[in-house]
Structure 1
Amino acid sequence: MVTEPRSKPRKAAALASLARQFLAYVGVSLAALAVHYGVLAALVEAGRADPVRAALAGYLAGAVVSYGLNRRLTYASARPHAEATWRFGIVAAIGFGLTWLIMAGLTRGFGLPYLPAQVLATGVVVFWNFLGHRAWTFAVRPVPVLSEEASGVR
């Protein structure tokens, strides 16, 4: 298949746009991670909580920060809150489950200390959340297009 000369600049622009969006997501994620890890460490070190439960509590606290900042800064979404929040919740719930599986497997199964286990879990969940929110939670809503016949425009 022969590509048109204009398709390369379009692909490069699309890739650059995706890279900028991912960098914005990483910046927002750092803020959410600060909350997540702060709650995790406080509960484990001060409260002597189970690391898996503390990681999940931190995940929920970080999710609140993540929703607000990602909606505004990363995805600039106009999707109504009533629709975006439940979509965000589903993507976050899957990330929550992944966090639980990874943390339980690494801390209880392999005896890894909780912070390195959390770093590995975060590495997996960051990509899941970015792609899920980009493709579904905050994606641009499709606009119905009428055919030429139905619209009467030619």
Structure 2
Amino acid sequence: MAVLARQFLSYVGVSLAALAVHYALLATLVETGRADPVPAALAGYLAGAVVSYGLNRRLTYASARPHAEATWRFGVVAAIGFGLTWLIMAGLTRGFGLPYLAAQALATGVVVFWNFLGHRVWTFAGRPVPVLSGEVPGVR
């Protein structure tokens, strides 16, 4: 349990860096009138994902999974998080009229847990060790 807690704290630290990029782009796009809050949130999400991949691979999960495998897995988990962000942002800003930063904070709260678990159990998880039939690992 302590390992999981340390890993989650590392993930939160990395997420703060990714969130800084995400929120900076979101606010810049909305406040300069270049984008509506929903597409601006999605652009921020993508920019934050780039930061998140590199830092989480190295610091949080210390993954040895090859980039060729990890990047597409990261993309699948991130795409689901992207969809969740869209649904939550659209529902809260357009459906309920919530200010975009409050809506983004709620979306972030949901998506951070999805991403942590998805990356922990699938994206960066250790690859299973193949066992030849009839052999027991560690026994000769």
TM-score surpassing 0.5? yes
Number of aligned residue pairs: 139
1:72-104 per-position Cα deviation (integer Å, ceiling 9, x unaligned): 000000000000000000000000000000000
Matched, 1:115 2:101: yes
Q: Which runs of 5+ in 2 are unaligned?
A: none
Matched, 1:97 2:83: yes
1:132/1:149 Cα in 2 relative to 1: closer, same or farther (>3 Å)? closer
Q: Which runs of 5+ in 1 are unaligned?
A: 1-14
CA distance in 1, matches of 2:63, 2:34: 39
Question: Paired residue for 1:6?
Answer: none
C-alpha root-mean-square deviation of aligned residues, in Å? 1.5
Aligned-residue offset at 1:145: 2.3
Which consecutive aligned stretches of 4+ in structure 1 deviate over 4 angstroms post-superposition?
147-151
TM score, norm. by length of structure 2: 0.95
CA distance in 1, matches of 2:28, 2:46: 14
From 76, 84, 107, the equivalent of 2:62 is: 76
Aligned-residue offset at 1:149: 5.3
Identical columns (%): 88
1:3-25 per-position Cα deviation (integer Å, ceiling 9, x unaligned): xxxxxxxxxxxx00000000000
1:7-47 per-position Cα deviation (integer Å, ceiling 9, x unaligned): xxxxxxxx000000000000000000000000000000013
TM score, norm. by length of structure 1: 0.86
Question: Paired residue for 1:22?
Answer: 8
Question: Paired residue for 2:127?
Answer: 141
